[in-house]
Amino acid sequence: MKRHRKHVGLLDASLCSGCGFCVAVCPSNAISLIIRNGFYKVHVNETRCSGCKLCLKICPSISNSNKPISDFEQTRYNPLIGRYIAVFLSYAIDNELRLSASSGGCLTSLLIYALDKGLVDEVIVVLPDEKDPMYARAIATSDIGTIREAKGSKYTQIYMIDAVKRIIDFRNKRFAFVGLPCHIRALRNVEHVLKLQNIVIKLGLYCGNLPSARASEYLMYLYGIPEDRIKRISYRGLGWPGYLTIALVNGKKLCVPEPLYWGSGFGQYFCEKCCIFCSDHTAELADISFADPGGIKEVANDRLGHTLIVVRSKAGLKLLKAAERDGYITLRKIPDKYAIQGTTILKKIDKAQGIVYKLLKVRQKPRYGYAIPYQFQILIWLIDYIIGHKLAVNKKYWIFIPVWRRLSGIILYLLMKITPRKSHLTC
């Protein structure tokens, strides 16, 4: 494995999440992103590379900053969700925003509050890519209308480079950053290596996996929509759990319930192997983590939506309390156990096993820590992913995905019935 020591281009490509942070920090402009099977992947120009290894220090799959996070001191720790202060249930006071967001609109309300009160100069949010609706793009903005437009989940590949470069280049500006767990980890690495101090607040999203752009193409295939007729794709909104909304160039719209399209194979087979190995479901290095309120029965049928919040730092708690006081959000403390969801447990099961690497054909170990010992059942889940993923990467096999999805669901259900459940760590 010594040959990976020079730059990220020599890493196992399947471990690249496509976050693009290495591109943003490369002093030689030797790294770029290319699209491969709907995923953003790094490409390194060997003639430009100076061998400085900065990219290796930034990559969230193989590097983790050892810098102590001072705001995380004097917090509680749980091996499933990391360090935290408290768990809350929240929603935006603005009912229009609450209904149109993914889960209660709290995150968007906090961004608006931070700008209204002059706590930050710009925020990093994600919008659909205007050139290709199958992709998304992160931008830095101070416009409230743009922030409201950016609400909701983006279940596709996200181009982060321009936004990250702006943070690096404008060190006199104060930023709020919204990202997935891998983005937050890469950002912490950048902060440490480049000595950045201009990121005021880091807001992380719970993430099971990030589908490729091919996943959105697959949905268009399922619903018989030619790609050249698509104007915009919204993956959540219109209440909770929400709808996929496909806006067409002729003005018409198609709406599909979130559980229906996510369970079609879209959310299971179109992710990269780095997502399979990732153990950070809950954005453990964010100041505040945001999630759907899964498992909370009292709000399960409230279609307006609620936001589950894990507060991790003193800065995060201060922002939340201030936004509640000034009438932007509601805030109610709930038992810590609700922060642990089914995917949280799945992510924390040890996958650093020889048989797992052989099945996934990965030639090196990523940098992840697991909290739950290896279990045989994980192989069943991996086999389901491997077969489904092979169908997903080749469009001519998409016709078989619904068949395999139904068949694997039956097999997994039967296995769960006959396999004794093991207890897991709890808060």
Instruction: Please indicate whether residue 423 or residue 258 has the higher confidence score (pLDDT).
Output: 258
Instruction: Say whether pLDDT at 382 is over 50.
Output: yes
Angle, CA of 61, 203 and 255, to the nearest 5°: 95
Q: What is the DSSP string of 148-177?
A: HHT-S---S-EE-HHHHHHHHH-TTS-EEE
- The 10s digit of each residue's pLDDT in 176-232 is 999 999 999 999 999 999 999 999 999 999 999 999 999 999 999 999 999 999 999
| pLDDT score, position 420 | 58
How confident is residue 12, by pLDDT bands cut at 50, 70 and 90? Answer: confident
DSSP 135: S
Instruction: Say whether pLDDT at 424 is over 90.
Output: no
Would you say 75 and 85 are in contact if contact means Cβ atoms under 8 Å apart?
Answer: yes
Q: What is the DSSP string of 60-120?
A: TTT-------GGGTT-EEETTTEEESEEEEEEES-HHHHHHSSSSSHHHHHHHHHHHTTS-
Integer Cα distance of 72 and 414 in angstroms: 42
Would you say 53 and 7 are in contact if contact means Cβ atoms under 8 Å apart?
Answer: yes
Q: In the block, which residue shows the tokens 């797992």?
A: 356
| pLDDT score, position 325 | 98
Instruction: Say whether pLDDT at 74 is over 90.
Output: no
Domain architecture of the chain: domains with CATH: 2-58 (3.30.70), 70-342 (no CATH)
Integer Cα distance of 397 and 297 in angstroms: 39
How confident is residue 65, by pLDDT bands cut at 50, 70 and 90? Answer: low
Q: What is the DSSP string of 261-290?
A: HIIIIIHHHSS-HHHHH---SS-TTSSEEE
Residue 156 has which token pair? 């596709």
Integer Cα distance of 36 and 212 in angstroms: 9
Integer Cα distance of 134 and 131 in angstroms: 9
In total, the chain counts a number of residues equal to 427
- The 10s digit of each residue's pLDDT in 280-332 is 999 999 999 999 998 898 998 899 999 999 999 999 999 999 999 999 999 99
Integer Cα distance of 372 and 267 in angstroms: 23
> What Å distances lie between residue 421 and 161, 262, 377, 416, 418, CA to CA?
43, 26, 10, 8, 9
Angle, CA of 147, 151 and 152, to the nearest 5°: 160
| pLDDT score, position 71 | 66
Q: What is the DSSP string of 359-409?
A: HHT--S------SB---THHHHHHHHHHHHHHHHTSGGGGGGHHHHHHHHH
| pLDDT score, position 70 | 63
- The 10s digit of each residue's pLDDT in 299-312 is 988 999 999 999 99
Would you say 154 and 104 are in contact if contact means Cβ atoms under 8 Å apart?
Answer: no
| pLDDT score, position 178 | 98
Whole-prediction pTM value?
A: 0.94
SS3 127: strand
Residue 10 has which token pair? 């020599």
Integer Cα distance of 104 and 237 in angstroms: 10
Q: Under 8 Å CB-to-CB from 156, ≥6 apart: which residues?
A: 134, 135, 136, 210, 211, 212, 213, 215, 216, 233, 235
| pLDDT score, position 198 | 98
Q: Is the dihedral of CA 285, 286, 287, 292 positive or negative?
A: negative
How confident is residue 1, by pLDDT bands cut at 50, 70 and 90? Answer: very low
| pLDDT score, position 411 | 84
The chain-wide mean pLDDT, for the chain, equals 92
